[in-house]
Amino acid sequence: MITNKRHAVYPGTFDPITNGHHDLIRRAAGIFDHVIVAIAANPNKAPMFTLDARIDMARRVLTDVPNVEVSGYAGLTVDFAQQRGVGVVIRGLRAVSDFEFEFQLANMSRHLTRDVETVFLTPQEQFTFISSTLIREIATLGGNVGEFVHPLVAEELKKRAATPVIRPAGT
């Protein structure tokens, strides 16, 4: 399979997309000709938002970045990249603690296919502490997430927090 090293995939759950994600995507779009923000279905993580909602939010947030496409996917990221003819997977590193997992993931990906390279990007300093998990928790507990996410994401989080999901015990 021919892979394009000028095209990249930035995979993640994006539950929800944060200003840190937006920063990395904008910068990746300045490096690569085309960036696919690949939103993983990943039902094992029990996301707050449906895949369709996460795709919709990301598309709306990223309208200012012309060479970015948003797509949902299920399965292995390297398989998605190969199916799309993309030769680079972008991974974000917020802190040294992220490195070990991301290093293992990059090596496993390389083992699965040598056609796809992994490139690490670090966020600007003001975004290093932002994670979707923390954003969801703050929003669920009624906190203000306005400085960490796009206004439309903050509004979606506010709506979602107003209608909590009740899960059976043990899930």
- pLDDT (tens digit per residue) in 25-69: 999 999 999 999 999 998 787 899 999 999 999 999 999 999 999
For domain 4-125, give the CATH number.
Answer: 3.40.50.620
Q: Is 153 helix (H, G, I), strand (E, B) or coil?
A: helix
Whole-model pTM?
0.88
Structure tokens at 143: 């906190």
Alpha carbon distances (Å) from 89 to 31, 93, 171: 13, 13, 32
6-26 pLDDT per residue, tens: 999 999 999 999 999 999 999
Contact indicator for 90, 122 with CB cutoff of 8 Å: no
Give 44's Cβ-side CA count (13 Å radius). Answer: 4
Would you please indicate which residues are annotated as catalytic (active-site) residues? 21, 45, 94, 132
Closest by Cα among 60, 127, 78, 73 to 98? 127
Contact indicator for 71, 38 with CB cutoff of 8 Å: yes
Domain ranges across the chain: 4-125
